[in-house]
Chains A and B, each alone.
Chain A
Amino acid sequence: MSTGKIGAGRGALVEFDRSEYLVLEDRAGSSSVLLVLFNASDVREYLSLSHTRLGQGNIFLLPASSLLSNRRNLMARVIEDGVRAHDIISGAVGEDRLPANVISDLAAKGIEPWAVPECVRLFTPVEIGEDESLVRRCSVSRRGDRFVLLGGMPCLCALVVPEGEIGWQTRRQMPAKV
Protein backbone atom coordinates (compact mmCIF):
# COMPACT_ATOMS: atom_id res chain seq x y z
CA MET A 1 0.00 0.00 0.00
CA SER A 2 1.22 3.49 -0.78
CA THR A 3 -0.36 6.75 0.25
CA GLY A 4 0.02 10.46 -0.21
CA LYS A 5 -1.79 13.76 -0.30
CA ILE A 6 -1.93 16.47 -2.90
CA GLY A 7 -2.69 20.10 -2.16
CA ALA A 8 -4.10 22.82 -4.38
CA GLY A 9 -2.01 23.55 -7.45
CA ARG A 10 0.02 20.38 -7.00
CA GLY A 11 0.09 17.00 -8.65
CA ALA A 12 1.53 13.52 -8.43
CA LEU A 13 2.19 10.49 -10.57
CA VAL A 14 0.80 7.37 -8.88
CA GLU A 15 1.17 3.76 -10.02
CA PHE A 16 -1.41 1.06 -9.41
CA ASP A 17 -1.56 -2.43 -10.78
CA ARG A 18 -4.19 -4.71 -12.25
CA SER A 19 -6.55 -5.80 -9.44
CA GLU A 20 -5.26 -3.00 -7.23
CA TYR A 21 -7.43 -0.16 -5.95
CA LEU A 22 -6.72 3.54 -6.26
CA VAL A 23 -8.64 5.39 -3.53
CA LEU A 24 -9.05 9.16 -3.76
CA GLU A 25 -10.55 11.09 -0.86
CA ASP A 26 -11.50 14.75 -0.71
CA ARG A 27 -9.75 16.02 2.43
CA ALA A 28 -10.85 19.63 2.20
CA GLY A 29 -14.31 19.59 0.65
CA SER A 30 -15.10 21.19 -2.71
CA SER A 31 -11.88 19.81 -4.15
CA SER A 32 -11.41 19.08 -7.82
CA VAL A 33 -9.06 16.57 -9.40
CA LEU A 34 -7.75 16.04 -12.93
CA LEU A 35 -6.94 12.45 -13.76
CA VAL A 36 -5.26 10.78 -16.74
CA LEU A 37 -4.04 7.20 -17.12
CA PHE A 38 -1.32 5.53 -19.12
CA ASN A 39 -0.52 1.86 -19.55
CA ALA A 40 2.58 1.49 -17.38
CA SER A 41 3.95 -1.14 -19.77
CA ASP A 42 3.42 0.88 -22.97
CA VAL A 43 2.70 4.58 -22.60
CA ARG A 44 1.42 4.76 -26.16
CA GLU A 45 -1.74 3.31 -24.65
CA TYR A 46 -3.66 5.87 -22.58
CA LEU A 47 -7.09 6.67 -21.21
CA SER A 48 -9.37 7.62 -24.10
CA LEU A 49 -12.49 9.38 -22.95
CA SER A 50 -13.96 9.14 -26.45
CA HIS A 51 -13.71 5.34 -26.26
CA THR A 52 -15.04 5.44 -22.71
CA ARG A 53 -18.05 7.57 -23.66
CA LEU A 54 -18.97 5.64 -26.78
CA GLY A 55 -18.39 2.34 -25.00
CA GLN A 56 -21.10 3.18 -22.49
CA GLY A 57 -23.24 5.26 -24.86
CA ASN A 58 -23.24 8.16 -22.42
CA ILE A 59 -21.11 11.25 -21.97
CA PHE A 60 -21.31 11.20 -18.18
CA LEU A 61 -19.31 8.98 -15.88
CA LEU A 62 -21.67 6.34 -14.51
CA PRO A 63 -21.55 4.03 -11.50
CA ALA A 64 -19.34 1.08 -12.53
CA SER A 65 -18.15 2.90 -15.65
CA SER A 66 -15.26 1.20 -17.44
CA LEU A 67 -12.41 3.53 -18.34
CA LEU A 68 -11.19 2.43 -21.76
CA SER A 69 -7.93 3.05 -23.55
CA ASN A 70 -7.25 4.29 -27.07
CA ARG A 71 -6.87 0.57 -27.91
CA ARG A 72 -10.22 -0.04 -26.27
CA ASN A 73 -8.78 -2.09 -23.44
CA LEU A 74 -10.11 -1.81 -19.90
CA MET A 75 -7.75 0.40 -17.92
CA ALA A 76 -9.80 0.74 -14.73
CA ARG A 77 -13.33 0.46 -13.43
CA VAL A 78 -15.20 2.82 -11.13
CA ILE A 79 -15.81 0.82 -7.95
CA GLU A 80 -17.01 3.43 -5.49
CA ASP A 81 -18.20 6.96 -6.13
CA GLY A 82 -19.42 9.15 -3.30
CA VAL A 83 -19.99 12.14 -5.55
CA ARG A 84 -21.44 10.86 -8.85
CA ALA A 85 -20.86 14.19 -10.54
CA HIS A 86 -17.80 14.27 -12.76
CA ASP A 87 -16.80 15.61 -16.12
CA ILE A 88 -15.52 13.41 -18.95
CA ILE A 89 -16.51 15.80 -21.73
CA SER A 90 -14.83 19.19 -21.16
CA GLY A 91 -11.41 18.36 -19.72
CA ALA A 92 -9.52 20.30 -22.38
CA VAL A 93 -5.96 19.34 -23.20
CA GLY A 94 -4.77 22.90 -23.72
CA GLU A 95 -6.45 24.33 -20.66
CA ASP A 96 -4.61 23.17 -17.58
CA ARG A 97 -0.87 23.41 -17.17
CA LEU A 98 0.64 20.44 -15.43
CA PRO A 99 2.74 21.15 -12.33
CA ALA A 100 6.48 20.91 -12.94
CA ASN A 101 6.88 17.82 -10.78
CA VAL A 102 4.24 15.96 -12.82
CA ILE A 103 5.88 16.99 -16.08
CA SER A 104 9.26 15.72 -14.89
CA ASP A 105 7.77 12.50 -13.48
CA LEU A 106 5.95 11.85 -16.77
CA ALA A 107 9.12 12.63 -18.75
CA ALA A 108 10.98 10.04 -16.69
CA LYS A 109 8.43 7.50 -17.94
CA GLY A 110 8.85 8.62 -21.55
CA ILE A 111 5.71 10.77 -21.71
CA GLU A 112 6.14 14.23 -23.22
CA PRO A 113 3.65 17.01 -22.38
CA TRP A 114 2.19 16.97 -25.91
CA ALA A 115 1.18 13.33 -25.41
CA VAL A 116 -0.98 13.97 -22.34
CA PRO A 117 -4.59 13.26 -23.36
CA GLU A 118 -7.95 14.73 -22.40
CA CYS A 119 -8.46 14.35 -18.63
CA VAL A 120 -11.26 13.31 -16.33
CA ARG A 121 -12.31 16.22 -14.08
CA LEU A 122 -13.45 14.55 -10.88
CA PHE A 123 -16.02 16.08 -8.51
CA THR A 124 -16.92 18.90 -10.95
CA PRO A 125 -20.15 18.20 -12.87
CA VAL A 126 -20.96 19.47 -16.31
CA GLU A 127 -24.46 20.01 -17.65
CA ILE A 128 -25.77 19.61 -21.19
CA GLY A 129 -28.40 22.16 -22.21
CA GLU A 130 -31.35 21.48 -24.50
CA ASP A 131 -29.34 23.26 -27.21
CA GLU A 132 -26.37 20.95 -26.51
CA SER A 133 -24.50 23.73 -24.77
CA LEU A 134 -21.96 22.79 -22.10
CA VAL A 135 -22.00 24.36 -18.66
CA ARG A 136 -19.38 23.53 -16.07
CA ARG A 137 -20.29 23.61 -12.39
CA CYS A 138 -18.09 24.02 -9.33
CA SER A 139 -17.02 21.05 -7.25
CA VAL A 140 -19.86 19.39 -5.38
CA SER A 141 -17.79 17.00 -3.27
CA ARG A 142 -17.73 17.13 0.50
CA ARG A 143 -14.93 16.46 2.88
CA GLY A 144 -14.50 12.71 3.16
CA ASP A 145 -16.12 11.85 -0.18
CA ARG A 146 -14.31 9.06 -1.97
CA PHE A 147 -13.77 7.90 -5.52
CA VAL A 148 -12.28 4.44 -6.03
CA LEU A 149 -10.91 2.82 -9.18
CA LEU A 150 -9.90 -0.81 -9.66
CA GLY A 151 -7.03 -1.33 -12.07
CA GLY A 152 -7.62 -3.38 -15.18
CA MET A 153 -3.97 -3.14 -16.23
CA PRO A 154 -0.81 -1.70 -14.68
CA CYS A 155 -1.49 2.04 -14.72
CA LEU A 156 0.43 5.26 -14.38
CA CYS A 157 -2.03 7.79 -13.05
CA ALA A 158 -1.30 11.51 -13.23
CA LEU A 159 -3.32 13.44 -10.65
CA VAL A 160 -3.54 17.22 -10.47
CA VAL A 161 -5.54 19.12 -7.85
CA PRO A 162 -6.56 22.59 -9.10
CA GLU A 163 -8.41 23.34 -5.86
CA GLY A 164 -8.78 21.78 -2.41
CA GLU A 165 -6.76 18.85 -1.15
CA ILE A 166 -7.04 15.11 -1.72
CA GLY A 167 -5.55 12.05 -0.15
CA TRP A 168 -4.72 9.02 -2.27
CA GLN A 169 -3.80 5.45 -1.55
CA THR A 170 -3.27 2.28 -3.52
CA ARG A 171 -4.19 -1.02 -1.91
CA ARG A 172 -4.79 -4.66 -2.73
CA GLN A 173 -7.92 -4.99 -0.62
CA MET A 174 -10.54 -2.57 0.59
CA PRO A 175 -11.18 -2.63 4.34
CA ALA A 176 -14.63 -3.53 5.61
CA LYS A 177 -16.79 -0.45 6.07
CA VAL A 178 -18.41 -1.77 9.25
Chain B
Amino acid sequence: MAERVLVPAREGRSVRVAAGQCVTFLDVEGMQIGDIALLSGHDPHERFSQSDTRLRNGKLRISTGDVLYGTAGRPMAMIVRDDVGTHDIVSYPCDSARYERDFFSPGHANCRANLAGALLEYGVEEWWVPDPFNVFMNTHFTPDGRQIIEDAVSKAGDRVTLRAEMDLIVAVSACPQDMYSPNGYRITDLEMLVHGP
Protein backbone atom coordinates (compact mmCIF):
# COMPACT_ATOMS: atom_id res chain seq x y z
CA MET B 1 0.00 0.00 0.00
CA ALA B 2 1.60 3.26 -1.11
CA GLU B 3 1.62 6.32 1.13
CA ARG B 4 0.72 9.40 -0.88
CA VAL B 5 1.81 12.86 0.22
CA LEU B 6 0.55 15.89 -1.70
CA VAL B 7 3.09 18.71 -1.86
CA PRO B 8 1.01 21.79 -2.63
CA ALA B 9 2.44 24.39 -4.98
CA ARG B 10 4.95 26.69 -3.18
CA GLU B 11 5.06 24.47 -0.09
CA GLY B 12 7.21 21.76 1.45
CA ARG B 13 6.46 18.37 3.00
CA SER B 14 8.48 15.52 4.50
CA VAL B 15 8.08 11.81 4.97
CA ARG B 16 10.05 8.89 6.41
CA VAL B 17 11.24 6.20 4.00
CA ALA B 18 12.71 2.92 5.26
CA ALA B 19 15.78 1.34 3.69
CA GLY B 20 14.68 -0.71 0.69
CA GLN B 21 11.49 1.29 0.16
CA CYS B 22 11.07 3.61 -2.79
CA VAL B 23 9.89 7.19 -2.96
CA THR B 24 8.49 8.54 -6.21
CA PHE B 25 8.25 12.23 -7.06
CA LEU B 26 5.45 12.96 -9.48
CA ASP B 27 5.18 16.18 -11.47
CA VAL B 28 1.40 16.56 -11.48
CA GLU B 29 0.95 19.19 -14.18
CA GLY B 30 4.42 19.46 -15.73
CA MET B 31 7.34 21.93 -15.61
CA GLN B 32 7.48 21.88 -11.81
CA ILE B 33 10.86 21.67 -10.07
CA GLY B 34 11.12 19.86 -6.74
CA ASP B 35 13.97 20.54 -4.32
CA ILE B 36 14.61 17.28 -2.46
CA ALA B 37 16.54 17.01 0.80
CA LEU B 38 17.56 13.58 2.08
CA LEU B 39 18.68 13.07 5.67
CA SER B 40 19.57 9.94 7.59
CA GLY B 41 16.58 8.66 9.51
CA HIS B 42 18.84 7.96 12.47
CA ASP B 43 21.00 11.07 12.50
CA PRO B 44 19.77 14.01 10.42
CA HIS B 45 23.22 15.62 10.63
CA GLU B 46 24.12 13.13 7.89
CA ARG B 47 22.61 14.84 4.86
CA PHE B 48 22.51 14.60 1.09
CA SER B 49 25.73 15.96 -0.38
CA GLN B 50 25.70 17.37 -3.88
CA SER B 51 29.49 17.40 -3.98
CA ASP B 52 29.90 13.77 -2.91
CA THR B 53 27.26 12.81 -5.46
CA ARG B 54 29.04 14.69 -8.25
CA LEU B 55 32.42 13.28 -7.35
CA ARG B 56 31.43 9.67 -6.76
CA ASN B 57 29.31 9.49 -9.91
CA GLY B 58 31.96 11.45 -11.83
CA LYS B 59 29.48 13.80 -13.46
CA LEU B 60 27.29 16.83 -13.11
CA ARG B 61 24.07 15.20 -14.32
CA ILE B 62 22.59 12.07 -12.76
CA SER B 63 19.84 9.70 -13.84
CA THR B 64 18.71 6.08 -13.57
CA GLY B 65 21.30 3.87 -11.88
CA ASP B 66 23.18 6.74 -10.27
CA VAL B 67 23.52 7.00 -6.51
CA LEU B 68 22.83 9.94 -4.21
CA TYR B 69 25.51 10.17 -1.52
CA GLY B 70 25.50 11.80 1.88
CA THR B 71 27.96 13.93 3.80
CA ALA B 72 29.56 10.84 5.34
CA GLY B 73 30.28 9.52 1.85
CA ARG B 74 27.69 6.76 2.17
CA PRO B 75 25.00 5.91 -0.40
CA MET B 76 21.64 7.34 0.63
CA ALA B 77 19.48 6.43 -2.36
CA MET B 78 19.63 5.19 -5.95
CA ILE B 79 17.63 6.54 -8.87
CA VAL B 80 15.63 3.58 -10.17
CA ARG B 81 13.27 5.42 -12.51
CA ASP B 82 13.72 8.70 -14.34
CA ASP B 83 11.21 9.82 -16.95
CA VAL B 84 12.97 13.11 -17.66
CA GLY B 85 16.77 12.94 -17.36
CA THR B 86 17.37 16.61 -16.62
CA HIS B 87 17.99 17.39 -12.97
CA ASP B 88 20.34 19.59 -10.99
CA ILE B 89 22.95 18.68 -8.36
CA VAL B 90 24.82 21.99 -8.42
CA SER B 91 22.44 24.71 -7.21
CA TYR B 92 21.33 25.80 -3.76
CA PRO B 93 17.64 25.91 -2.89
CA CYS B 94 16.17 29.30 -3.69
CA ASP B 95 16.27 31.37 -0.52
CA SER B 96 15.12 34.70 0.86
CA ALA B 97 18.29 36.46 -0.31
CA ARG B 98 17.72 35.24 -3.85
CA TYR B 99 14.28 36.86 -4.03
CA GLU B 100 15.25 40.00 -2.14
CA ARG B 101 18.42 40.76 -4.10
CA ASP B 102 17.78 39.31 -7.55
CA PHE B 103 14.04 39.64 -7.91
CA PHE B 104 13.24 42.57 -5.59
CA SER B 105 10.62 40.48 -3.78
CA PRO B 106 11.26 40.32 -0.05
CA GLY B 107 9.05 37.81 1.72
CA HIS B 108 8.61 35.62 -1.36
CA ALA B 109 8.11 31.90 -0.59
CA ASN B 110 11.37 29.99 -1.06
CA CYS B 111 12.62 26.42 -1.09
CA ARG B 112 15.07 26.79 1.81
CA ALA B 113 12.32 27.97 4.15
CA ASN B 114 9.95 25.30 2.80
CA LEU B 115 12.50 22.56 3.46
CA ALA B 116 13.36 23.93 6.89
CA GLY B 117 9.68 24.04 7.78
CA ALA B 118 9.14 20.49 6.59
CA LEU B 119 12.17 19.30 8.59
CA LEU B 120 11.47 21.26 11.75
CA GLU B 121 9.91 18.26 13.50
CA TYR B 122 13.22 16.40 13.12
CA GLY B 123 15.21 19.13 14.83
CA VAL B 124 16.80 20.41 11.62
CA GLU B 125 17.77 24.08 11.62
CA GLU B 126 17.56 26.19 8.48
CA TRP B 127 21.32 26.85 8.30
CA TRP B 128 22.07 23.16 7.79
CA VAL B 129 19.38 22.33 5.26
CA PRO B 130 21.49 20.69 2.56
CA ASP B 131 21.85 21.83 -1.00
CA PRO B 132 19.20 19.59 -2.57
CA PHE B 133 18.69 17.19 -5.42
CA ASN B 134 16.74 19.54 -7.68
CA VAL B 135 14.55 17.17 -9.58
CA PHE B 136 13.19 18.31 -12.98
CA MET B 137 15.49 21.39 -12.87
CA ASN B 138 17.03 21.83 -16.31
CA THR B 139 20.60 22.90 -15.63
CA HIS B 140 23.51 22.31 -17.95
CA PHE B 141 27.08 23.45 -18.43
CA THR B 142 29.49 24.49 -21.09
CA PRO B 143 33.06 23.15 -21.13
CA ASP B 144 34.27 26.59 -19.97
CA GLY B 145 32.11 26.23 -16.89
CA ARG B 146 29.14 28.45 -17.58
CA GLN B 147 26.05 27.31 -15.72
CA ILE B 148 22.85 27.63 -17.72
CA ILE B 149 19.38 27.14 -16.23
CA GLU B 150 16.63 26.61 -18.78
CA ASP B 151 12.94 25.86 -18.56
CA ALA B 152 12.01 22.50 -17.09
CA VAL B 153 11.10 19.91 -19.71
CA SER B 154 9.08 17.57 -17.47
CA LYS B 155 5.52 16.84 -18.53
CA ALA B 156 2.39 16.09 -16.52
CA GLY B 157 2.75 12.66 -14.93
CA ASP B 158 6.54 12.41 -15.25
CA ARG B 159 8.21 10.63 -12.34
CA VAL B 160 11.53 10.09 -10.65
CA THR B 161 11.85 7.21 -8.21
CA LEU B 162 14.55 6.78 -5.57
CA ARG B 163 15.23 3.56 -3.70
CA ALA B 164 16.39 4.26 -0.16
CA GLU B 165 19.76 2.73 0.66
CA MET B 166 19.35 3.67 4.32
CA ASP B 167 16.47 4.79 6.52
CA LEU B 168 15.70 8.30 5.35
CA ILE B 169 13.85 11.46 6.12
CA VAL B 170 12.84 12.92 2.75
CA ALA B 171 11.67 16.49 2.33
CA VAL B 172 10.62 18.19 -0.88
CA SER B 173 9.67 21.73 -1.80
CA ALA B 174 7.47 22.47 -4.81
CA CYS B 175 9.76 25.26 -5.97
CA PRO B 176 7.96 28.62 -5.81
CA GLN B 177 10.23 30.32 -8.34
CA ASP B 178 7.82 32.31 -10.47
CA MET B 179 9.99 35.38 -11.00
CA TYR B 180 11.64 33.88 -14.07
CA SER B 181 10.86 30.92 -16.25
CA PRO B 182 12.38 27.60 -15.03
CA ASN B 183 8.94 26.53 -13.74
CA GLY B 184 7.18 28.13 -16.70
CA TYR B 185 5.95 31.06 -14.54
CA ARG B 186 3.35 28.67 -13.16
CA ILE B 187 3.79 26.89 -9.83
CA THR B 188 1.95 23.61 -9.40
CA ASP B 189 1.70 20.63 -7.06
CA LEU B 190 4.03 17.68 -6.69
CA GLU B 191 3.25 14.32 -5.17
CA MET B 192 5.43 12.01 -3.13
CA LEU B 193 4.56 8.33 -3.12
CA VAL B 194 6.28 5.96 -0.69
CA HIS B 195 6.02 2.36 -1.83
CA GLY B 196 7.76 -0.98 -2.01
CA PRO B 197 10.50 -1.79 -4.50
Is B49 located at the chain interface by the 8 A CB criterion?
yes
Indicate which residue in B45, B69, B92, B140 contacts A50 across the interface (CB closer than 8 Å).
B92
B46 at the interface (CB under 8 A from A): yes
Output the residue of B56, B59, B74, B91 with the most chain A CB within 10 A: B59
B71, B142, B146: the one contacting A94 at CB < 8 Å is B71
Please indicate the chain B residues that have their CB under 8 angstroms from the CB of A129 in the complex: 143
- Interchain CB contact under 8 A, A53 and B55: no
Give 1 or 0 for each of B169-181: 1 = CB within 8 Å of chain A CB. Answer: 0000000000000
Query: Is there contact, CB below 8 Å, between A50 and B98?
Result: no
A19 at interface (Cβ–Cβ under 8 A)?
no
Q: Does B20 contact A (CB under 8 A)?
A: no
Alpha-carbon distance between A53 and B60 when the two chains are bound, in angstroms: 13
- Given A92-B51, A118-B51, also A72-B147 (CB < 8 A): no
Assembled-state Cα–Cα distance A72/B99 (Å): 12
CB distance from A73 to the nearest CB of B (A): 8
Interface string of A108-139 (1 = CB under 8 A from B): 00001011001000000001111111110000
Q: Which residues of A contact B125 (CB under 8 A)?
A: 44
Whether the pair A71, B97 counts as a contact (CB closer than 8 A) is yes
Answer whether residue B54 sits at the interface, using C-beta atoms and an 8 A cutoff: yes
Closest beta carbon of chain B to A41's beta carbon, Å: 14
CB proximity to A under 8 Å, residues B87-123: 90-92, 95, 97-98, 101
Q: How many A-B residue pairs have CB under 8 A?
A: 103
> B90 contacts A94, CB within 8 Å?
no
A95 near B50 with CB under 8 A, answer no
Q: Does B165 have its Cβ within 8 Å of any Cβ on chain A?
A: no
Determine whether A80 belongs to the interface, using a CB cutoff of 8 Å to chain B.
Answer: no
A-chain residues with CB within 8 Å of residue B71 when the two chains form the complex: 93-94, 114
Asked if B151 CB lies within 8 Å of chain A CBs, one says: no
B72 in the interface, Cβ–Cβ < 8 Å? yes
Tell me if A59 is interfacial: C-beta within 8 Å of chain B.
yes
A70 at the interface (CB under 8 A from B): yes
Q: Is the pair B147, A58 in contact by a Cβ cutoff of 8 Å? A: yes
Contacts A59-B141, A89-B54, A134-B55 given; does A44 touch B127 at CB 8 Å = yes
Spell out A's residues near B (CB within 8 Å).
44-45, 48-51, 53-54, 57-60, 70-72, 89-95, 112, 114-115, 118, 127-135
Given contacts A50-B92, A72-B95, A72-B101, 9 further A-B pairs with CB under 8 A are A50-B91, A53-B90, A58-B145, A93-B49, A93-B51, A94-B70, A118-B49, A127-B143, A132-B140
27 contacts across the A-B interface (CB closer than 8 A): A50-B92, A50-B131, A53-B91, A57-B146, A70-B92, A70-B127, A72-B98, A89-B51, A89-B54, A89-B60, A89-B90, A90-B55, A92-B51, A92-B52, A92-B54, A93-B49, A93-B52, A94-B70, A95-B73, A115-B45, A118-B51, A127-B143, A128-B141, A128-B145, A133-B59, A134-B55, A135-B58
